[in-house]
């Protein structure tokens, strides 16, 4: 097992990519503490289904937008486990709309969750990692933050911001033996992409060299690589998992 006795925090673990990350890290022996914001039922279901496989997984209702909630969550974890080894910032939302029609609320919901949320969670745990002289941060951005996608100015800005944030932080904390990397998925089959209209999928599909959407597990396996010693000399990088779409 590649992550035996490691403690991992995953934000947004109840569904989609986050859920696959929780499962993958736990299967490699990590104690995984995941967060969510609404879905109590799904959180309990995940704890119970993975618990039956003797995997160590617990869910916590923590809104990443709220610094105080995140800080209290961190204190709770440190009291119980004494240390944290891996942080995966995965929680994210979309509120797609053309800029001309986008409300200030749709802008700030996305920025507050996807970018300020990453600041809130990373600030809390980075200090712990620096004190430990050891830690590993993996941020789930998006191809949208690299190439820009129309009707996603809010989302592209948040995900591009996350990449810049990660590179700056990677330089800041490398001396403390803390790594920071980014995974940038393209189109992945989850609840988030289930809202895409048939016409839009027909438009996008020919642009994906591998000619299909990816799976949450395909993103999780790259996160696993970044979470293990196999990637010990990699920091400040953005790894695309996009079927070649962004080439
Ligand atoms: P889903 O919509 O399937 O799941 C989102 C998860 O984030 C849920 O667990 C949700 O919790 C949680 N969440 C949302 N807001 C908050 C919040 N304020 N605080 C804490 N948790 C929150 O998303 P995906 O699995 O598709 O996406 C996961 C990440 O990957 C996102 O950052 C997304 O931007 C990124 N991504 C996704 C792509 C895709 O094609 N699917 C492509 C590129 C990037 P709850 O269940 O309680 O609502």
Q: What is the pLDDT of residues 110-145, one digit of tens each?
A: 999 999 999 999 999 999 999 999 999 999 999 999
Cα-based torsion angle of the residue sequence 20, 8, 238, 69 in order, rounded to the nearest 10 degrees: 100
**The dihedral of CA 167, 172, 174, 179: what is its sign?**
negative
Q: Domain extents for the chain?
A: 7-241
- Average of per-residue pLDDT across 89-95: 98
Q: What six digits make up the tokens of 104?
A: 């200030």
User: How confident is the prediction for the chain on average, in pLDDT?
Assistant: 98
CA distance 60 to 43: 8
Degrees to nearest 5, angle at CA 216 with 128 and 59: 45
Predicted pLDDT at 166: 99
- Of 11, 247, 3, 236, the residue nearest 119 (C-alpha): 11
For ligand 1, the distance from its centroid to the CA atom of residue 215, given in whole angstroms, is 14
Q: How is residue 214 annotated by DSSP?
A: B
Ligand 1: residues with CB < 6 A are 11-18, 35-39, 42, 63-65, 90-93, 113, 117, 140, 142, 185, 187-188, 190-193
Q: Is 155 a catalytic residue?
A: yes
The class level of CATH for 7-241 reads: alpha beta
- Average of per-residue pLDDT across 182-201: 97
Catalytic one among 36, 81, 155, 200? Answer: 155
Predicted pLDDT at 189: 98
pLDDT of 26-76, one tens digit each?
999 999 999 999 999 999 999 999 999 999 999 999 999 999 999 999 999
| Substitution site in 10, 16, 21, 117 for ligand 1 pocket (most atoms within 8 Å of beta carbon) | 16
Predicted pLDDT at 162: 98
Angle, nearest 10°, between helix axes 117-132 and 153-173?
A: 10
For ligand 1, the distance from its centroid to the CA atom of residue 90, given in whole angstroms, is 6
**pTM of the entire structure?**
0.99
**Confidence class for position 85, pLDDT limits 50, 70, 90:** very high
Q: Phi then psi for 196, rounded to 5 degrees?
A: -65, 140
């Amino acid at each position: 097992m590649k992550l035996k006795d490691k403690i991992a925090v995953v934000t947004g673990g109840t569904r989609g990519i986050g859920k696959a990350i929780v499962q993958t890290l736990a299967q490699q022996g990590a104690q995984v503490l995941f967060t969510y914001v609404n879905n109590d039922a799904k959180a309990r279901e995940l704890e119970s289904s993975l618990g039956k496989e003797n995997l160590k997984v617990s869910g916590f209702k923590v809104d990443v937008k709220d610094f105080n909630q995140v800080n209290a969550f961190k204190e709770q974890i440190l009291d119980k486990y004494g240390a944290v080894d891996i942080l995966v910032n995965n929680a994210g939302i979309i509120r797609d709309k053309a800029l001309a029609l986008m409300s200030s609320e749709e802008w700030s919901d996305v920025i507050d969750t996807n970018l300020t949320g990453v600041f809130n969670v990373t600030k809390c745990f980075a200090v712990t990692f620096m004190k430990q002289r050891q830690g590993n941060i993996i941020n789930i951005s998006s191809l949208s933050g690299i190439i820009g996608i129309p009707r996603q100015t809010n989302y592209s800005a948040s995900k591009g911001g996350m990449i810049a944030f990660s590179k700056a932080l990677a330089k800041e904390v490398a001396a403390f033996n803390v790594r920071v990397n980014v995974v940038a998925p393209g189109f992945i089959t989850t609840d988030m992409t289930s809202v895409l209209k048939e016409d839009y999928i027909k438009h996008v599909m020919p642009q994906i060299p591998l000619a299909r959407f990816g799976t949450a597990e395909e993103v999780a396996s790259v996160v696993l690589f970044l979470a293990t010693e196999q990637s010990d000399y990699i920091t400040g990088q953005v790894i695309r998992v996009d079927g070649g779409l962004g080439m």
